Amino acid sequence: MIDMKPPLTHKVPQHIAIIMDGNGRWAQSRGEPRVHGHRSGAQRVREVVEAAGQQGVKVLTLYAFSEENWQRPIEEVHALFSLLVSYLREEIERLHENGVQLCSIGAIEKLPEDCQQWLRVVEERTRSNQGLKLVLALSYSSRTDILRAVRGIAAAVKEGTLDEQSIGEATINSYLSTNLLPEPDLLIRTSGEQRLSNFLLWEMAYTEFYFTKVHWPDFSRADLEAALSDYAERERRFGSIHPQ
Ligand code: IPE
Ligand code: IPE
Ligand code: MG
């Protein structure tokens, strides 16, 4: 049968944010330890990064570890960071060849030293690439980021370098760790939960939400394309009465 779906060239989200959830449940449903789910989840990142770039997405922000995730058992935390190091080590050349530019947001200084080092290496290697911007949110908390911005703004006012009356949304944007990124157009959360879990709270004021029951280790290129098709059907009005 001929596929009559229109091509996805129009209304491609510029920036997609993904809460990669459900690794633990995916593993538990197979009688495997949670870390097995994280390992399979890490394998999915490659496919989704590649597919997003091919679809014309400009920025992909992946929520990989939240500030709250430090409360997990130490063995799980260690396993997650060792998977991150393996990902960075194995993917550095492929990312570079595909023109991906990698960067990170969050309290990177809290990460294990080898993780920080590998992040620096990959960021440096891919710095001048012009393709997909891949943002890893690590030890990230949106409220902490907003708090940091508020403190920075207060300090600037106190120093006299910022006039209180001139503080606007753009000022707040400029103090957030996401200051160089466009706001997300589409948020995807896998595994059925319908919450933000402290992710990009200020930035997602007008983001479209897409929730799927698929666990992250099963989330494929086809699932990403389904989310993009869904997004393409939506009418974004931003408070006006006309689509924008
Ligand atoms: C997402 O999967 C990975 C991280 C939060 C690091 P989970 O580990 O949260 O999986 P579930 O939600 O327990 O199934
Ligand atoms: C959010 O998932 C964080 C990441 C995916 C990195 P969690 O599984 O930690 O969130 P909650 O606990 O369900 O809110
Ligand atoms: Mg979870």
Burial 205-221 (b: 16+ CB within 10 A, else e): eebbebbbebbbbbbee
Let me know how many helices (H) and strands (E) the chain has, helices first: 7, 6
Tens digits of per-residue pLDDT, 98-130? 999 999 999 999 999 999 999 999 999 999 999
Q: Give me the domain span that covers residue 114.
A: 15-143+183-232
Q: Would 149 be classed as within a structural domain?
A: no
Q: Would 86 be classed as within a structural domain?
A: yes
Q: Which two tokens stand for residue 240?
A: 């006006």
Secondary structure of residue 126 in the 3-state scheme: helix
Whole-number Å distance between alpha carbons of 187 and 219: 14
Whole-number Å distance between alpha carbons of 77 and 83: 10
Distance 50 CA to ligand 2 centre (A): 24
The predicted model gives 23-44 an average pLDDT of 98
The predicted model gives 183-198 an average pLDDT of 98
Distance 4 CA to ligand 1 centre (A): 37
The structural domain count of the chain equals 1
Tens digits of per-residue pLDDT, 70-106? 999 999 999 999 999 999 999 999 999 999 999 999 9
Q: What is the pTM of this model?
A: 0.96
21 classed as catalytic: yes
Q: Would 55 be classed as within a structural domain?
A: yes
Q: Would 148 be classed as within a structural domain?
A: no
Q: Would 3 be classed as within a structural domain?
A: no
Q: Would 32 be classed as within a structural domain?
A: yes
Residue 10 has pLDDT above 80, yes or no: no
69 classed as catalytic: yes
Kindly report the CATH number assigned to the domain that includes residue 211. Answer: 3.40.1180.10
Whole-number Å distance between alpha carbons of 192 and 99: 32
Q: Would 173 be classed as within a structural domain?
A: no
Q: Which atom of ligand 2 is nearest to the CA of 63?
A: 6
Helices (H), 6-132: 23-28, 34-54, 74-97, 113-126
pLDDT at site 17: 99
pLDDT confidence bin for 8, thresholds 50/70/90: very low
Among the bound ligands, name the one nearest to the CA of residue 38: 1
